[in-house]
Amino acid sequence: MINISTEKKIQWCPGCGNFAIYTALKHVLEKNIENGKIESEKLVLISGIGCYGYITNYYDTNSFHTILGRVPPLATGIKLAKPELLVIGFAGDGDAYSEGMSHLIHAARRNTDIKVIIHNNSVYGLTAGQFTPTSPKGFKGSSTPMGNIENPINPITLMLVSQATFVARGYAGDISHLEFILEKAIFHKGFSFVDILQPCATFNNTYKYYQNRVYRLEDIEYDNNNDRESAIVKSFEWGEKIPIGVFYDREEETFEEKIKFA
């Protein structure tokens, strides 16, 4: 049995959504190392800053724990230099959608062959509870005691209009579905984007909120994942019902392939 866990003690709050994301990716990687589809030495995991950032300590693979917001260009540099590597980046809603948002958009439109997994818990946990670009209006955080006055962004729509070639949303409360999405994302040739709705057990516990709303796109015969316009329309759905699953999946020539002849 392949085991890619390290012996490091995982230090997240009990009930943290990071556990589900960590476990889902671990299962997907171990399964595919086992069946020979992934060579473990070719794996590189990158993380930015946040509670989730320590995730690279818990996988026994090549890793680079970098600075806030800069996961996409670091991943791009690694992939450009050694295209045979499988480069998977973790980022939070704080670094991917705030400080490093432009990098995410540019990596998407280049179709760099990197995988970006977002731990989206709509709160800065490590700095004790401030609002992020995905916090809802009215969110009472430690820097917005009267409630957040800003509109949240929609990461799925953002990535679709930025021409990402694989766009999906997962939910940390549905591990088996998350594994299904992550496996697809990893084997997609080109830029893969997975936004994962993740409760923060301490500062923004959204389990109940999401539990009652999420449904799987795969359960409704959603067949628009080849058509960007329809995917964009679907991405607006957010409220009583929140779709999770693969919104868009279409292969195109990658940045690394094009750069060889540019």
Which residues in this chain contact other proteins in the complex, by CB under 8 A? 6, 8, 41-44, 53-54, 56-57, 60-67, 70, 72-82, 84-85, 102-103, 106, 259, 262
51/178 with CB nearer other proteins: 51
DSSP 95: I
CB of 108 to other proteins, least distance (A): 11
**Closer residue to other proteins (CB): 100 or 245:** 100
Numbers of helices and strands, H then E, in the chain = 9, 8
- The rounded distance, in Å, linking the Cα atoms of 230 and 163 is 13
- Helices in the chain by DSSP H: which ranges? 18-34, 71-81, 93-94, 101-110, 155-161, 175-187, 207-211, 228-235, 255-259
Rounded to the nearest whole angstrom, what is the least distance from the CB of residue 40 to other proteins in the complex?
9
Q: What angle do CA 199, 200, 202 make, to 5 degrees?
A: 140
For residue 10, the minimal CB distance to other proteins (Å) is: 12
- Least CB distance to other proteins at residue 126 (A): 11
Which CB atom, from 50 or from 243, has the smaller least distance to other proteins?
50
Nearer to other proteins, 45 or 117 (CB): 45
